Chain A
Amino acid sequence: MNSFTAVLRKDLLLEVRGGQSTVALGALSLLVLVVLVFAFNPGGGEQGAEAAAGALWVALVFSGMLGATRAVSAESENGCIRALLISPLDRAALYAAKLAAAFIFMAVAEAASIVLMVLFFNLEFDARVMRLVPAVLLGALGFAALATLLAGISSRLRGGDLVLPLLAVPMFVPALIAGVKASAAALGGAPMGEFAVWLKVLVAFDVMFVAAGYLLFEYVAGEE
């Protein structure tokens, strides 16, 4: 087993043992969708698709915030992050493992959110819902990449839990817009070309922040 696998396995094991963030992610997604379904009172058609897409992405942002904070804060207990930083573990591998853990937590939460969205917004489990999957996965990857990098910074700050959303949400706006548009296009049955344009924006966002995190995590984590 290499170091990346060891860190990822350890994070997943801690999550299975603790279970706090998966439960919190699921509960938060449910709450957001329930509130928004009552707020929008969607009737179906194009307007209903847009409302459902918006609700889904609000759930993604909130659950992503929790997931990323959890992935880094697990290392704060007993100073474990310091042990990782002075170990032979490559910091890029540490970032990659943390990103993978946050992505897995988010993907699980998003799978549940999609099911809830279909039920609450009176949609059908058909090909249009399946077209959501790449948009949601790309959004989850982008948010996990951004939030993991920022969590590395905020974990060293007093009041870091407050700093993370203040930094992450504005920076995620381009991907959020693209994700909502892609999801609305998918659910509304728009042509593939319209859907693909927004997917490309999500891919560009992911490439940029995965690369930034991979290169910068060494400098943002653990500097004292």
Chain B
Amino acid sequence: MTAALIEARALGKSFGPTPVLRDVNLSVEAGRGAAVVGANGAGKSTLIRLLAGLSAPSPGAAMLFGEPARSLEPALRRRVGLLSHQSFLYPNLTARENLEFYATLYGVEGVRAAAIEWLERVALGAAADARVRGFSRGMEQRLALARAMLARPDVLMLDEPFAALDADGAALAAALVREAMDRGCAVLASAHSAAALEELGFAVLTLSRGKLLRAEPSAMRQSAARASLARQVS
């Protein structure tokens, strides 16, 4: 049996008296992907933050590599990549300087070469020496994706990876995610719509009001989404 690299055990989170996540159980093994879909406020970003170790569970356990995500050793933290809804980029640094900075923190060999390679891979080679402050939202998202992936992590967590990307950008992002999975990376992604992630072979899980529902066949999920939309419109 393959050990799970990402695991949530009876994971919960409350902000004051309000529970945002309740009893979430999931696991993602090496080379596999899981997509958590749900409406705004369903708890997708909270789940990713818990599993990335940015927030403390209450109650339950968020585990990476079999260790609590909040107390990973630096050697294990080096193997985790996170794409958040915030870009984690410094606006007054250039694209290349941002990647070089993170490459240094993550101990990437050949910092400058790695930065240039990843800028080319996300089609930002021409903007390497431009400050991030002047980037469009889509360019920033592609650079943030490069930042999350440049250390070639074994665990990748992506909060809305295709947000703000045009069709070409989304295809490029999908190719990078697929490549990461092919080399054995475990990927957990959140999205409003599962279509793009489902095509990548992700197991789709639905999060509703903080509860993880069983994986639903695509047709059922689309039907539920349509019904939900109809209720909102009426």
Chain A positions near chain B (C-beta within 8 angstroms):
1-3, 6-7, 10, 13-14, 17-18, 74, 77-80, 82-90, 222-224
A17:B53 contact, CB within 8 angstroms: no
> Chain B residues with Cβ under 8 A from A2's Cβ?
104
A86-B104 contact given A13-B93, A78-B90, A80-B89, CB 8 Å threshold: no
Interface residues on B, range: 20 to 34
In the complex, what's the smallest C-beta–C-beta distance from A105 to chain B, in angstroms?
Answer: 16
In the complex, what's the smallest C-beta–C-beta distance from B159 to chain A, in angstroms?
Answer: 11
Chain B positions near chain A (C-beta within 8 angstroms):
49, 52-56, 74-75, 77-78, 80, 82, 84, 86-93, 97, 101-102, 104-107, 111, 131, 147
A82:B84 contact, CB within 8 angstroms: yes
The docked-state distance in angstroms from the alpha carbon of A17 to that of B53 is 32
B105:A78 contact, CB within 8 angstroms: no
The docked-state distance in angstroms from the alpha carbon of A86 to that of B50 is 12
> Chain B residues with Cβ under 8 A from A13's Cβ?
93, 97
B104:A1 contact, CB within 8 angstroms: yes
In the complex, what's the smallest C-beta–C-beta distance from A41 to chain B, in angstroms?
Answer: 43
A82-B88 contact given A10-B93, A87-B77, A224-B55, CB 8 Å threshold: yes
B86:A82 contact, CB within 8 angstroms: yes
Contacting residue for A84 out of B49, B52, B75, B105, CB 8 A = B105
Report 19 cross-chain contacts, Cβ distance below 8 Å, ordered by A residue: A13-B93, A14-B93, A18-B92, A78-B87, A78-B88, A78-B90, A78-B91, A80-B88, A82-B84, A83-B88, A83-B102, A85-B54, A86-B53, A86-B54, A88-B77, A88-B106, A222-B54, A224-B49, A224-B54
